[in-house]
Structure 1
Amino acid sequence: MFIFFNSLKQQNKSFFWFIVHVLLGASATISAFPMIIYFYVFLGYSFINLFNVNATHRARLIAEIIIYFASFEGLGRLAGSDPFIPYELGKYIILFLCPLGILLSRNYTAKGMIGLVILILSIPAVLFDESNQVSFNDIKFNILGLLNIGVAIWFFSTLNLNLKTLINWSKPLVYPIVSALVFTIIRTPNLDEVEFTLGANFATAGGFGSNQVSTILGLGVFVFSLAVLLNYRISGFKWLDGITLGLFTIQGLLTFSRGGMIGGFFGVFVVMFYLTKLSFKERSALRIPNFKKYIVPVGILLFIVMFAANLITGGMLLLRYMGETQGTLAGSAEKNLNKITTNRSDIFMEDVDLFLDHTMLGVGVGASSYLRDEYKGYAPHVELSRLIAEHGALGLIIFFLFILVFFLNKGHAPESISKGILIALFLMGFLATFHSATRTYITPLLMGISCVNIASISKKNKKERRKVSVKTVNRFKYQPLDLDQKVPGQL
């Protein structure tokens, strides 16, 4: 039987699926219904596939369903497909499918129990409201992201993968983001007609929230950069991957929303740092070129892209990333942390005041927006401040549990390349909470994926490597990035 995700990940079909998602993004600018039909047809077919794969593969297939279909959240929001594709699609998919994956995997880990503790500690603040103004939608908006993080950490920590499978996941993760990129490019007016100011730009974000779009496009920058660094193809052609990376970069920069792009670039630098730790033997086994030779060309390309974007915006882009505003340029406002962070630091401090007044259990989920003084009515933008204000000391414990998960992930990755990818994924998801709270699926999904367990070579296998063929060696630690090659446990 045709297995959808096998086809989606095969290298010889990369160009076909790349074009399919380009067309999905283009058609969504006219009507959301082609994308909606595609979404439900393949979602339903993927569940049928669950009954046609080996039972040991079903939990992994659930993970791929989550990764791919949750990633349609961005395109759905841009195309206005709610309620057919819900506004918070990714959160619903993660919340309902991760428990199913846990039941199918039947593999319980200490790291997974941290996710369960996060879920338990989230509950008390749902039971009361210090403002007496919180609605059900307020609770749903503020708590779903946190619950998603808990179940995602729990489920993905039960999965044991090889490095090749982890890299294969880049395609279901990024293809729907390619659709979102195409949508924003088509919906962007003639750049000569766009008025660039020192604030976020909705026109270049497809008419939607630039902060969320920037976060999604920043993830696209990371995944396509990873493809260049690891010498594999997402679109099927190296040159097309390079062009797509350039488009992600320039479109993301033109949104004038900094957090998502900074997160994407940061993730790339993390992976590059860990690649420097690979020996020549390891690079050869993984078929990874010496990435150092790409530093100068990539640096030049990045400079050209940023220079062009700055030129297009009349110099406003550079000023935006320097933290300038119209007021600071005119001399009527002081350039300080609050101006640079677009009021986030003051909202943070007001949340700290709420925490100090309600230290034990906080003010209740959703109540912080109604209890602030100067920034009353503003939705939380920093998840840490929301946690301590609304969950009190329990929220602070949850935040430290996030940090614990990071160090557990860092300590258990078997070698440099998998360690670099997992750390980059976690940090991009975590950093997104400091500018977008948990508004998108990006944070729980990336933090969840970062918890998977990557297979390592046992001491016994190391001794046996001298006696086995090169083909057999590739079954263990260092997998060549031939993504069509079948390996044990791969769907």
Structure 2
Amino acid sequence: MNKSEINYVNLALLHVGIALILFYIPFLSKVYAVLIAVFGFYYVVSNDNRNNEVLYVSAYLVGAEVFLRMTGGNLNNEYIKVMVSLLMLLGFVLSGFSKANIVYWLFLMLLLPAVFITMTTQDLNLEIKKAIVFNISGPVCLGLCALYCYKRVVIYTQMQNMVVLLGLPIIATLTYLVLYSPSVREVITGTQSSFATSGGFGPNQVSTILGLGMFVFFSQLVLMSKSKVIMILNGFLLVLTSYRAIVTFSRGGVITGFAMIILVLITAYLLTNNSGKRKLKWIIVLSGILGMSIWGYSVIQTRGLITKRYANQNAAGQVKQDRLGGREIIMGTELELFTENPVLGVGIGMGKSYREQMLGQEVASHNEITRLLAEHGMFGICILLILIITPLILFFYNYQNVYLLSFYAFWLLTINHAAMRTAAPAFVYALTLLNIRVKPIHKEESA
């Protein structure tokens, strides 16, 4: 193994150690959260962001967010989004941004009308103020990340480093999950999403980050592993991540991770030469066998309940009336609010209050697309068009970014089942806007 591979093994072991410490001494999780931010900002400033260090630190923070939440380390729900946003602002100061990036300035401005509508609400109480912050933090984080990343030139090895840094905290998450519920068979009793196999935290968010981990470790196994030791390590991490994602019984993250893997294989196949295509065919076959083996083991460990979960059945084998765990009802109310307020929407964060009147209970949105329509009206449509179309246009000019379509799929699929609860969809979306080059670049090109 070379030096970088030895460092990778050591960092993986370090994150196993971090998980062990925080499992037995939980209050240190907040210390860990603060230390990441402090050393991260120091790392960026001390290096003058010469190699886009803000993206490295942000990638690590994004990978660590769910781990911090499940261990009680998040200082508040928006902590990671705020830290990532501040890092992007620091990146603007140190490295500037594309002067031609009008589209994402427009995106940020289109968010404002819904904020003004909510601010004019007569009863602007603490809950409504929290709702504004809760719903605006994700889009603002995305906008700032997009402003920094838009057509910024980075080399392929820098992108690989970001992928590795996304994955390291997920190793800590995996370790914590194994410590929390070492025997899946003993804790699974039904087909509902399982908090017991999700570290006592929200299965939807745990599944989301593990789905991203499936892609991270698969891409490292296929595209980055050169020695047998690293191949075995990444292969083991891929198998464990996939298994633990499946047994959360939250389907969104697993489906998203699977889609990302398929897309990176397709992209790599289209971009490689004939020799590379022959190797990829074998990789696809072996990946299929591995995937079926992981699924089969999951079926055995859950006594067949996972099969019923994906067939939308309860433990008795009866088909459930709703396919999305009640999300259809929430989406229906949001579409109804949009048809009643198609121009300006009901105001940011107000959808939850309106649902209390419509359904008799306050329920937060799980779908960012219908939330944008309900709360932003026609401005929400413009926002969606910007977000959906821009990366696809860049794809035709940025063919060297083998990860682009996978990252795009992660953002699009995640906001459909987990909205923008975490910073992951915002940051990963912005990575689709980077201009990837294989050869090293001069500093002035990256500004």
TM-score (norm. length: structure 1): 0.83
What secondary structure sits across from 1:203 in the alignment?
coil
Matched, 1:401 2:386: yes
Query: What is residue 94 of structure 1 aligned with on the other side?
Result: 84
Query: What is residue 364 of structure 2 aligned with on the other side?
Result: 379
**Letter of the aligned partner of 1:348 in structure 2?**
M
Task: Report if the CA contact (8 A) 1:12-1:236 is conserved.
Answer: no
Distance in 2, Cα, partners of 1:368 & 1:48: 40
Out of 156, 166, 189, the residue aligned to residue 173 of structure 1 is 166
RMSD in angstroms over aligned alpha carbons? 2.7
Cα distance, 1:223 vs structure 2: 0.5
Task: Report if the CA contact (8 A) 2:185-2:303 is conserved.
Answer: no
Cα distance, 1:330 vs structure 2: 3.8
Question: Deviation per CA, 1:176-207, whole angstroms, max 9, x where unpaired?
Answer: 11111111111115334213312101100000
Task: Report if the CA contact (8 A) 2:185-2:302 is conserved.
Answer: no
Matched, 1:70 2:62: yes
Task: Report if the CA contact (8 A) 1:131-1:367 is conserved.
Answer: no
* Gaps in structure 1 of 5+ consecutive residues: 1-8, 457-473, 477-486
Assess, with a 3 A threshold, how the Cα gap between structure 1 residues 77 and 131 changes in structure 2: closer, same or farther: farther
Task: Report if the CA contact (8 A) 1:233-1:241 is conserved.
Answer: no
What secondary structure sits across from 1:127 in the alignment?
helix
Written as runs of structure 1 = structure 2, the 5 A alignment for 1:37-436 is 37-41=31-35, 43-53=37-47, 55=48, 57=50, 60-83=52-75, 86-110=76-100, 112-129=101-118, 132=123, 134-157=127-150, 159-188=152-181, 190-232=183-225, 237-280=230-273, 283=276, 290-325=279-314, 329-330=317-318, 334=321, 339-372=322-355, 373-374=358-359, 376-415=361-400, 418=401, 420-436=402-418
Query: What is residue 419 of structure 2 aligned with on the other side?
Result: 437
- More divergent stretch after superposition (189-198 vs 146-155): 189-198
- More divergent stretch after superposition (445-454 vs 192-201): 192-201
Assess, with a 3 A threshold, how the Cα gap between structure 1 residues 254 and 131 changes in structure 2: closer, same or farther: farther
Distance in 1, Cα, partners of 2:191 & 2:49: 52
Task: Report if the CA contact (8 A) 1:50-1:61 is conserved.
Answer: yes
Task: Report if the CA contact (8 A) 1:198-1:319 is conserved.
Answer: yes
**Letter of the aligned partner of 1:450 in structure 2?**
T
**Letter of the aligned partner of 2:157 in structure 1?**
K
Cα distance, 1:14 vs structure 2: 0.8
**Letter of the aligned partner of 2:16 in structure 1?**
V
Cα distance, 1:412 vs structure 2: 2.1
Question: Deviation per CA, 1:377-422, whole angstroms, max 9, x where unpaired?
Answer: 110000011101111111111011111222123222133xx2x301
What secondary structure sits across from 1:44 in the alignment?
helix
Distance in 1, Cα, partners of 2:38 & 2:278: 40
- More divergent stretch after superposition (353-362 vs 154-163): 154-163
Out of 1, 7, 12, the residue aligned to residue 6 of structure 2 is 12
What secondary structure sits across from 1:16 in the alignment?
helix
Question: Deviation per CA, 1:91-140, whole angstroms, max 9, x where unpaired?
Answer: 11122221221232223154x32222111111121123369475221111
Distance in 2, Cα, partners of 1:235 & 1:17: 18
Distance in 2, Cα, partners of 1:73 & 1:311: 31
Distance in 2, Cα, partners of 1:429 & 1:234: 32
Question: Deviation per CA, 1:413-448, whole angstroms, max 9, x where unpaired?
Answer: 133xx2x30121121022100000000111101001
What secondary structure sits across from 1:267 in the alignment?
helix
**Letter of the aligned partner of 1:188 in structure 2?**
S
Cα distance, 1:326 vs structure 2: 5.5
Distance in 2, Cα, partners of 1:158 & 1:234: 33
Distance in 1, Cα, partners of 2:427 & 2:253: 15
Cα distance, 1:375 vs structure 2: 6.6
Task: Report if the CA contact (8 A) 2:29-2:71 is conserved.
Answer: no
Cα distance, 1:250 vs structure 2: 0.5
Distance in 2, Cα, partners of 1:370 & 1:38: 35
Question: Deviation per CA, 1:294-336, whole angstroms, max 9, x where unpaired?
Answer: 2222212211110111111111111111222358x447x64xx
Query: What is residue 3 of structure 1 aligned with on the other side?
Result: none
**Letter of the aligned partner of 1:21 in structure 2?**
H
Task: Report if the CA contact (8 A) 1:256-1:320 is conserved.
Answer: yes
Out of 16, 23, 27, the residue aligned to residue 22 of structure 1 is 16
Task: Report if the CA contact (8 A) 1:194-1:203 is conserved.
Answer: yes
**Letter of the aligned partner of 1:392 in structure 2?**
G
Assess, with a 3 A threshold, how the Cα gap between structure 1 residues 109 and 184 changes in structure 2: closer, same or farther: farther
Distance in 1, Cα, partners of 2:334 & 2:122: 14
**Letter of the aligned partner of 1:93 in structure 2?**
M
Task: Report if the CA contact (8 A) 1:29-1:79 is conserved.
Answer: yes
Distance in 2, Cα, partners of 1:139 & 1:225: 37
Assess, with a 3 A threshold, how the Cα gap between structure 1 residues 376 and 169 changes in structure 2: closer, same or farther: same
Distance in 2, Cα, partners of 1:125 & 1:279: 46
Distance in 2, Cα, partners of 1:240 & 1:71: 19
Assess, with a 3 A threshold, how the Cα gap between structure 1 residues 381 and 42 changes in structure 2: closer, same or farther: closer
Task: Report if the CA contact (8 A) 1:234-1:241 is conserved.
Answer: no
Query: What is residue 465 of structure 1 aligned with on the other side?
Result: none
Distance in 1, Cα, partners of 2:313 & 2:391: 33
Task: Report if the CA contact (8 A) 1:131-1:371 is conserved.
Answer: no
Distance in 2, Cα, partners of 1:441 & 1:188: 26
Question: Deviation per CA, 1:3-43, whole angstroms, max 9, x where unpaired?
Answer: xxxxxx93331111110011111222112344444454454
Distance in 1, Cα, partners of 2:34 & 2:179: 24
Distance in 2, Cα, partners of 1:65 & 1:191: 33
Matched, 1:452 2:447: no
Assess, with a 3 A threshold, how the Cα gap between structure 1 residues 375 and 427 changes in structure 2: closer, same or farther: farther
**Letter of the aligned partner of 2:405 in structure 1?**
I
